[in-house]
Structure 1
């Protein structure tokens, strides 16, 4: 009996890993014969997801904006959306390259014979789905444990928001040029879960460019903005009439907080805590 057990164990160890078919967000199917041991990630949220699932040591290169966790800063930086270093990526001999759907290099990488998986989470539902896909890529059996932790953290953040802060209408400026977080973005979803309103309706898209006069007319009670965008905000034409500006209800996020807030991935619960703190300190004052 014992001999048969050890024989079965040795046989299992000798069997090759089962191949998996990965269908990405572009509808492309990539066949991975075994869990990849050399991974390139060209999107910060995907980099963070790989690391959160315990595979940071398998990364051999990342895009220039991937900076968390700290250990990825020692990896080769492979450029950004417009200047990805395809030759350097090829020289790293990755088993798979994770790219954004909007990446311009996916086809060039495939033409070089590299396996490419294009993923770009933009909503809570997307984050949960992408976690599952990367879990399959990495052969991690329970990738959804990360999603359960995110959900619990967001719920905890929501419970910390006082009743006086609920319902306040927020304008969240995510980038210079007045690009805003709409209701349909993952940031907008977080605001909704925290009980806040959003002056940018879902019909305008997740991150629309907004006319300054639109914000004046909408008259938000609270403004969230990065430290760069905050410069001169009160001097914008007509903005001194906005309730948020008149009452000093403006949350200015530092760059490190901006990274957390702008990445739909494992740190979304932390992002919810940052927003909740803003609501507690400003909206309830």
Structure 2
């Protein structure tokens, strides 16, 4: 009589299944270690499942990497993608709502360096990762850090490669006659400008454009309005409502870029994309290229 080998095979399969399950459990619980913009090393026992972001670029990065479902709250200004506005809004850099944040029991809080509540949140036992990119190198590091934090470090490289491809497509579409033109890019009506060493300035340089703000003035300097008038930028870029007001500013009606409509006016939603150093930088480059291509030939300086 031949003994059935089924019980042996079943036991072997069961043992293999248990081993694999334990292996996956160990992987799922593997420590996650990242270094933030303070130079602090943050260690978590596993990728966070409940995440709060207190900066729009951080919110967008989490979502672009494919982890939007892990968000349980954001700052008041985060509004992309479309699922984000429905999440609890927890204040901003100056007035983060600490009690509400604690009540949401996050595994990690992603915050800017300038968020005043960072120390308070840490004193209450929360894990805080501080990331606030000012240039593209820092933005790329932010993407890589968030991807690692979420347990999928390879996704950071994939996302940034996509951004690079979008930027290169935009570069190819910029009219050659506009290359080297000096830009005044307004980030606030005070006026604050995007300098050449900011992520916006770097993006403009990639597109072959110049900047009226030299590196020495920093990434986002507040300018004397007369500085802009004397600089006579070839192109002006700003949110639409501020651009419409510029001719009424003292002396600004003399700006040739305004007189000849060598301007790029962006509505609020598109402007948000331009001023956030995150995963939509490639789309921002294409948006600028769209504007430059739309300028009538006479306004580009062609005969």
Q: Structure 1 length as normaliser, TM-score?
A: 0.95
Match of 2:72 in 1: 60
Name the count of aligned residue pairs. Answer: 285
Contact 1:165 1:280 in 2 (8 A): no
Output the TM-score relative to the length of structure 2.
0.90
Distance in 2, matches of 1:180 and 1:141, equals 34
Map of 1:76-87 to 2, 5 A cutoff?
A: 76-87=88-99
Q: Which residue pairs with 1:184 in the alignment?
A: 197
- Residue range with higher mean Cα deviation, 132-141 or 61-70: 132-141
CA distance in 1, matches of 2:53, 2:251: 43
Tell me the distance in 1 between the aligned counterparts of 2:18 and 2:72. Answer: 37
Report whether the alignment pairs 1:269 with 2:282: yes
The CA distance in 1 between the partners of 2:221 and 2:153, in whole Å, is 37
SS at match of 2:223: coil
| 1:7 CA drift (Å) | 4.9
Change (3 A) 1:231 1:246: closer
1:94 paired with 2:106, answer yes
Which stretches of structure 1, 4 residues or longer, exceed 4 Å deviation after superposition? 1-5
Partner residue of 1:161 out of 163, 171, 174: 174
CA distance in 1, matches of 2:123, 2:18: 43
Partner in structure 1 of residue 151 of structure 2: 139
More deviation, 25-34/263-272: 25-34
Match of residue 221 from structure 2: 208
Residue matched to 2:263:
250
Match status 1:219 vs 2:232: yes
CA distance in structure 1 between the aligned counterparts of 2:185 and 2:25, rounded to whole angstroms: 55
Kindly indicate whether the alpha-carbon contact (under 8 Å) linking 1:199 and 1:220 is maintained by their aligned counterparts in 2: yes
Take 1:89 and 1:281, find their aligned partners in 2: how far apart are those partners? 45
Cα shift readout 1:175-222 (whole Å, capped 9, x = no counterpart): 110100100011101110111111111110000011111111111111
- The answer as to whether partners of 2:144 and 2:153 remain within 8 angstroms in 1 is no
RMSD: 1.6
1:280 and 2:302 matched: no
Aligned residues of 1:95 and 1:114 also touching (Cα < 8 A)? yes
Unaligned runs of 5+ in 1: none
**Segment drifting more, 50-59 vs 224-233:** 224-233
> 1:284 Cα shift?
2.4
Distance 1:101 1:18 in 2: 27
Structure 1 residues 179 and 14, CA gap change in structure 2 (3 angstroms): closer
Any gaps of 5 or more consecutive residues in structure 2? 1-8
Distance (whole Å) between structure 2 residues aligned to residue 75 and residue 160 of structure 1: 37
Question: Does the 8 Å contact 2:95/2:116 carry over to 1?
Answer: no
